[in-house]
Structure 1
Amino acid sequence: MKNDFSKKNLSIKLCAILLSSSALFAQEEQNTTLLETITVSGTSNSNYQSDEKANLNRTKISKEDMAKSIQTFNQNFIEDAQLQNIDDVITMSSNTIYTGSSHGRANQISMRGFSGVPILLDGMKITNKIARPEIFAYESIEILKGPDSLQYGESSPGGLVNLVKKKPTKNSLAQVELEVNDNPSYSPKIDLGGAINNDKSLYFRLTSVLKYDEGWTNSNTDTNKIFVAPSLAYDINDNNTITFITEYTKEKTPSDFGTYVNDKGKLIAPIKNMISHPDEKFEKTQKIAGFDLDSIFDTWSSNLKYRYIDYEGDNGDVHMPQRYNHLTNTVTMAYAYQKQEFQEHALQETINKEFDLFGKKNNLSIGADYNKAYSKLDMFFDPTQLYNINLSNPVYQHLTNLSDHPTARNMSAKKTSVESWGTFIQDNINLTDDLIFSAGVRYSESKPQNGQRTDATTPSFGLVYHLSSQTSLYTNYSESFTPNSAMDKNGKILDPETGKGYEFGVKQKLFDDKFDLTTAFFKIEKENIALADPNAPAVGGWSISSGKQESQGFEIDLSGDITPNLSVIASYGYVDTKNKDANNKDLRNIPNHTANLFTTYKLTALNLPDYYIGGGAKYIGNKYADDANNIQLDSALIYNATIGYKKGNWKANLSVQNLTDEEYVDGALASNAVGTRVYVGTPRTVLATIGYKF
């Protein structure tokens, strides 16, 4: 027991050691010259061009010096395009697709051919996925491609996403907006900030959203949302700032079990006809609290983060689809009840130090992180057939509750926990003024409350060569891991799934350095995937970790200003995936080709400099709904158009999303003998926004 206790607290001790190191560094540099305070705003060098540094990069070096492909989508772009959800933003990146909401419980993202992409909150890994983050709360959304467990531990080999919240500001800010659409939907929003005292050492930010949406399906449940996010920052002295962060979300939405396609991959009914019972609802309550402590000196910095998350997702009583009969075009329904609860403590410390060694500039990063996540599941299921519905003309029976199903199976899981921790070290060395070498390694451990400990060591190497101030070449090798939960025949947890990535790319700045272009070639291998042991019994069997998947491809991402009046964000991705355990079949839900374009043009030439027009398109290629590649889902081309006005304190925007009202499939949830269930894209929507800054 003593041994276990020490392991559980090891990462916390590591954080304490790093903080002690911070104190020593502070003592060392207490006589350094303090620099003038600089306030950094959320805007970039041009309209859509991303900032020089990425918040998800714990090493704090510039993106041009990183041997990685990173895209940042800023607030200017999100507002001009009137994007409604984070998945609309994320999928603007090459080889990145959204495959569904898991019944409203999580944003399912695949990148470079691999699913399970984690979503970080302000550069912090969260164990449990959190659905439907409020897009108005974020100043930017960042994408990092390829395996990268070095800084954040458990991760998909495809990459990761980081949501960057709006932070307290010393500059006075007061903005109100009203957004409406033709569902109809109404959403007032506020964004406030500024200094509280005369010396501007205490400053705040408050974002809040109310939303009412009748939706576009045949559901009787409207969306109602309350979101409030106050934050407060205090400059303790010239070198140290602490920021307190809180967030509260309460949301009710319709239940979403998707719909079905036939064996030709065609939708069996209009997308507005839901499988879910019209009276079903999904209710979410989420609370987040924490702080950031930043210490910055001449050659070193420390960043300590803590977050506490309390989440409750209540599906309540539902009639679940069980099987689809293609002969009668009917779906058989059964009763279920489900409620999930998550709580999590997350602690992260990073120290960065600049120094010269043997005449070479070094940027050394040392970090540690600790997560303890609790989860509880209340679930009941009655497999007895309730009734059938024909989705072409659905007729639903009364929505029953748990008391109507005394023989329902109790499939609940008592409250349990998972602890994970890790530590990493990375150094970026300037071998010459133009050649930068990076190397790092991480050790991670994870242990469920009633399970076995798993660990992983993941290295990362990179090389960047600046051909000029506008063009850089880079290459990298990196690894990722994901703990397995399956067991072998001896009852031992299988080794973690591992990812290995190889990448070569080019980064360029064009049009007076106001336009970024990144081109990348990559190959990724995923191994140790759990498979059913063919020698095991059908019931009560075990697994083996022999599964292997691969992806390789090419991608290009670009963003910025071509002229002072023309701004563009675009991407193209090609990926070829192979499931080595299924005769090299394509991986499910992954198209070979994706492309995106959004552009705006200020009407200065027409003597209307305060007006702009814009639009774009999203292309999603053919993909398979099943592992056997028997059911192909059609490609889709979705157009958007917008017109806007910005002058002084006023702004207004009118846009049409999915201009041609294309019916398309986001992704397949399941495909088996009882049918192929899918999530569909949003139909044509007309949106209008008006805003005023005081």
Structure 2
Amino acid sequence: MKLSYLSVGISLAILSLAPPVYADDAGIEVIEVKGSYFNDYKVDSASGAMRTNASLLETAQAVTVIPETIIDEQLATTLGEVLSNVASLSPGSKQRNREVFSSRGFTLSSSNGYLRDGHQHWSHYQQPIETLSHVEVLRGPSSMLYGQSAPGGLINMVTKKPTDNTLFDISADVDQHGSSRFMLDAGGEIVEDLSYRGVLVKQDVIYEREYQNGEQRERDRFLGSMSVDYNFTENLLVNVYYDQTNDKAGLDTGAWLDANGDVIGDDKTIRDFSWAFTDITVANVGTRVNYFFNPQWELKLGYNEQTFERQRFESSPKMPKNYQEGDSYTSKPYDRFDDWQFKTFYIDLVGEFSFASVDHQVLIGANSLDYYYGQLKTNADPIDYTPGQAEPLRPDVSYKTDDSLYTSEYDYYGVYFQDLITFNDQWQAVFGGRFDKQNKKGADSDSFVPKLGVLYHPIDDATVYINYSESFEPASSETLNDETDKNHGMALDAVTSSQIELGAKWQVSERLLVETALFDIEKTGALITETLENDPVYDTITTQAGVQRHKGLELSAQGAITDRLFVMASAMYLDAVYERDNKYQGNTPVDAPEWSASIWSRYELTEALALNAGVFYQGERYADSDNTVTKDAYARVDLGASYQMDIGNKTLDFRFNVENVLDTDYLAGGGINNVTVGDGRTARFEVKASF
């Protein structure tokens, strides 16, 4: 049976250490060594959740942190492979060499659904995950700290930081199709008080799916990043960084589905022509400043400038209604150039103080975004194509002949306040609010969102909490512009969402954290247009009365079960429905399964040899908003193994992973004309040398 080897990342270093055991009668600390690894699955805090030093047990919100260890063990090369570890996240379309996700059933926007080190990050491309130390998944509305965003939550990608200790890792992974990835990860102290971290990646990918002329789809990616820390004084740390990604790939807008939810034709066939491509260059440059007034008070500043340039030469195939394999279809080619520029800034003052026997951990801050987008586009003549014919030649058109530059610009800023109050060992409360102002031609808007949570700790290592939070998404224009509508000229408010969440977190031991959350999210303010049957003047009446409601239950466990068995597991039940909508009332959103689950585990056979196993489940989902086409549920099983050996002053790590070991046929994210076909059994081998 045909094997295709899957992408791999970096194996982890093997160490021996277990939690300390205290000998009170002797007055000394005794360290008991068990197993071969640190407990590197469990994470105790998330910088993006509260923007302070609060632990997860002091956070009245469902938060999951995916550590670098798991990213490396799974040999992940895309953010989607990383986020599959959180059942609350559902994969969407992968068309045009980018990834889309939903959190708690709400689609995450590429403009405001992702953060990088706390900065809003334009994410219309596959993220360079080799630069990440971990990924934080913040679930539920998070506009109080970050501004405009969807109610499902945010993804905060936290980058690797400079290290004082010398680090020099070289790795290579390959598969039998010819795909390869070479990576250098280095860090250390340059001179006293000056340290760095640098990453270089060269990746070439050959995909399973192929064009109708027999050519394979390919991808060529280069990544370079550098981050430098300088300690000016004991109290002042300044970081500067730069990274650039060049990513060119053939286009694949996804497979087409029939009314039964089956792929039309061969599920390996790409409908785009082989000359269609996307070529992306993304650069980030910025600085972070941390100033400690004293151990209790800290000032944090951050600035990031992101430039995103993309050429996309499309064949743009259009799926005809009731299409059957062998029928002709039309492609509408064009050449397009997109230029996005994101400039973000934040300033946070974080401090702790006590007043009247009550402890406070406060955050006072502000952040801003300056957004610019420009587009050039030239269309070619349509092409009628029948499968089996010779592929038509690439049209002789170029975006450079377009002399009508389309632009879109806006900026916004927000100021926010948050206070985590500790009354005693059992009770805490958190409250805060944000005022946000957007300046956009024809769509100025402002919003205020509150946040409130109460935490109860029945024992030192457990938390029960309830929170109320809101989010907002600004309207596309200030007023309704339709002279045939009775409410023409009506002022439009931002689309708002609110959530009530009841949760519990239990640190079963120092090595295992178990969590659960019940949530109820209501999104209101979508436009509802109704026809007026007997009105002599107006045809319709539009109101902001749309309601979308998502309710659910989440469970998760992360950490060490025994000295040698480690797990990251999660499950979600979701009831998502358009309660009031102009077109989809009573329906379920696309790619919002009722049930989803995931588990990834490691078992250490010896100090040098470890095995991994994982199962990733997505329940039945709709492929269209009309809920007429259904995609079947699937469970993908992955296996892996790693081995470490020392040769002189070098450490060698070997890893072999097999994804979809049972060769299960499945459809991942996407709709009836852009669905992602899951890869068959795939395997990959990696070797890493650490000096």
Alignment of 1:191-340 (within 5 A): 191-197=185-191, 199=192, 201-219=193-211, 220=215, 221-296=217-292, 297-330=294-327, 331-340=329-338
**d(CA) in 1 for partners of 2:325, 2:685:** 42
| Equivalent-residue separation in structure 2 for 1:112 and 1:474 (angstroms) | 19
Deviations 1:313-361 (A, max 9, x none): 1112424325254345533322222221111211011111111122100
2:636 to 631, 635, 638: 638
CA distance, structure 2, for counterparts of residue 68 and residue 254 of structure 1 = 40
Q: Is the 8 A contact 2:61 2:139 kept in 1?
A: yes
Displacement of 1:414: 2.0
Cα distance in 2, alignment partners of residues 357 and 154 from structure 1: 34
Check whether the contact 1:273–1:394 (CA below 8 A) recurs between aligned residues. Answer: no
Find the residue that maps to 2:640 and give its secondary structure: strand
Change over 3 Å in CA distance of 1:583–1:44 after alignment to 2: farther
Mark the CA change 1:327 to 1:345 in structure 2 (over 3 Å): closer, same or farther: closer
Deviation, structure 1 residue 98:
1.3
Q: Which moved more, 1:676-685 or 1:512-521?
A: 676-685
* 1:161 equivalent among 150, 155, 176: 155
Residue 457 (structure 1) aligned to one of 423, 427, 448 = 448
Write the distance in 1 (CA, Å) between the matches of 2:489 and 2:198.
Answer: 51
The one-letter amino acid paired with 1:534 is: T
Contact 1:333–1:387 under 8 Å retained in 2: yes
* 2:628 partner letter: N
Q: Structure 2: which amino acid aligns with 1:292?
A: R
1:682 maps to 2:676 = no
Cα deviation for residue 535 of structure 1 reads: 5.0
1:144 aligns with 2:138: yes
Give the distance between the partners of 2:287 and 2:87, measured in 1 at CA.
33
Distance 2:688 2:562 in 1: 26
Q: Name the SS of the counterpart of 1:203 in structure 2.
A: strand
**Structure 1 residues 53 and 322 mapped into 2: Cα distance closer, same or farther (>3 Å)?**
closer
CA shift in 2, pair 1:492/1:137, >3 Å = farther
**AA matched with 2:274:** P
Matches within 5 A, 1:646-685: 646-648=644-646, 649-669=651-671, 676-685=673-682
Aligned-partner SS, 2:273:
coil
* Code of the aligned partner of 1:236: F
Query: C-alpha offsets along residues 594-625 of structure 1, whole Å, 9 cap, x if unaligned?
Result: 01011111113xxxx30111111111110111
Q: 1:570 matched to which residue of 2? A: 569
Select which of 73, 96, 99 maps to 1:107: 99
- Aligned-partner Cα distance in 1 for 2:62–2:514: 10
Q: 1:569 deviation in Å?
A: 0.9
Cα displacement string for residues 374-423 of structure 1 (whole angstroms, at most 9, x for unaligned residues): 101122345x6412343xx67532222327999xxx79652331101101
Cα distance in structure 2, aligned partners of 1:678 and 1:216 = 15
Give the direction of change, closer, same or farther, for the CA distance of 1:140–1:405 in structure 2 (3 Å limit). Answer: closer
SS in 1 for 2:80: helix
Structure 1 residues 55 and 627: CA distance shift in structure 2, 3 A? closer
Q: 1:66 to 1:56 in 2, by over 3 A?
A: closer
Match of residue 591 from structure 2: 589
How has the CA–CA distance of structure 1 residues 157 and 357 changed in structure 2, closer, same or farther, with 3 Å as cutoff? same
Alignment match of 2:412 (pick from 379, 396, 420): 420
Which residue does 2:430 correspond to in 1?
Answer: 438
**Aligned residues, how many?**
630
- Between the aligned partners of 2:685 and 2:490, the Cα distance in structure 1 is 56
**CA pair 541-132 structure 1, distance change in 2 beyond 3 A:** farther
Q: Which residue identity is paired with 1:54?
A: S
Q: Spell out, residue by residue over 1:18-66, the C-alpha distance to the aligned partner (whole angstroms, 9 max, x if none).
A: xxxxxxxxxxxxxxxxxxxxxxxxx996121114343453133111101
Partner residue of 1:125 out of 101, 117, 120: 120
Match for residue 525 of structure 2 among 507, 525, 528: 528
List runs of 5+ in structure 2 lacking aligned partners: 1-35, 483-487
Distance in 1 (alpha carbons) for counterparts of 2:689 and 2:305:
34
Given candidates 457, 482, 486, the residue that maps to 2:473 is: 482
Greater CA drift, 454-463 or 219-228: 219-228
1:36 alignment partner in structure 2: none
Report if aligned partners of 2:532, 2:539 keep a CA contact under 8 Å in 1.
no
**Letter of the structure 1 residue corresponding to residue 252 of structure 2:** D
Q: TM-score w.r.t. structure 1 length? A: 0.86
Alignment of 1:68-83 (within 5 A): 68-83=61-76
Q: Percent identical across equivalent pairs? A: 23
User: What is the DSSP-based 3-state SS (H/G/I as helix, E as strand, rest coil) of the residue aligned with 1:77?
Assistant: helix
Q: Could you say if the C-alpha distance between residues 216 and 134 of structure 1 is closer, same or farther in structure 2, counting changes exceeding 3 Å?
A: same
Cα deviation, 1:171-230, whole Å, max 9, x if unaligned, reads: 111110001123321111001100111x3x000000110011222221445211110001
Rate the CA distance shift 1:497–1:447 in 2: closer, same or farther, 3 A. same
- Cα distance, 1:282 vs structure 2: 0.8
CA distance in 1: counterparts of 2:522 and 2:93, whole angstroms? 24
Which residue among 342, 347, 362 is the counterpart of 2:340? 342
Q: Which residue matches 1:22?
A: none
Give the letter for the 1:680 counterpart.
V
* Inter-partner Cα distance in structure 2 for 1:522 and 1:44: 35
Q: Determine the structure 1 residue equivalent to 2:80.
A: 87
Task: Give the superposition deviation at 1:542.
Answer: 8.9
Bigger shift: residues 45-54 or 495-504: 45-54
Q: Aligned letter for 2:677?
A: V
The structure-2 alpha-carbon separation of the partners of 1:540 and 1:84, relative to structure 1 and needing over 3 Å to count, comes to farther
Cα deviation code 1:259-284 (max 9, x no counterpart):
11001111112332101111211100
Return the letter of the residue paired with 1:692.
A
Structure 1 CA distance, aligned partners of 2:178 and 2:364? 50
2-structure distance, mates of 1:304, 1:474 = 31
Check conservation: 1:318, 1:337, Cα contact below 8 A. no
8 Å contact kept, 1:482–1:497: yes
What's 2:32 paired with?
none
Q: Deviations over 1:475-505 (max 9, x none)?
A: 1000001112155144566211111001111
**SS of aligned partner of 1:195:** strand
Q: Report if the CA contact (8 A) 1:45-1:51 is conserved.
A: no
User: Higher mean Cα deviation, 393-402 or 413-422?
Assistant: 393-402
Aligned-partner Cα distance in 1 for 2:175–2:491: 50
**For residues 626 and 212 of structure 1, what CA distance do their matches in structure 2 show?**
33
Instruction: Report the CA distance shift for 1:570/1:404 in structure 2 as closer, same or farther (over 3 A).
Output: closer
- Distance of aligned partners of 1:643 and 1:324 in 2 relative to their CA distance in 1, 3 Å threshold: farther
In the alignment, residue 638 of structure 1 is paired with which amino acid?
R
Contact 2:473 2:494 in 1 (8 A): yes
Q: Which residue of 1 aligns with 2:28?
A: none
Whole-angstrom CA distance in 1 between matches of 2:577 and 2:37: 39
Preserved CA contact (<8 Å) 2:376 2:400: no
Give the Å deviation of 1:89: 1.3
Residue 243 of structure 1 aligns to a residue in which SS? strand
Task: Indicate how the Cα distance of structure 1 residues 329 and 624 shifts in structure 2: closer, same or farther if over 3 A, else same.
Answer: farther
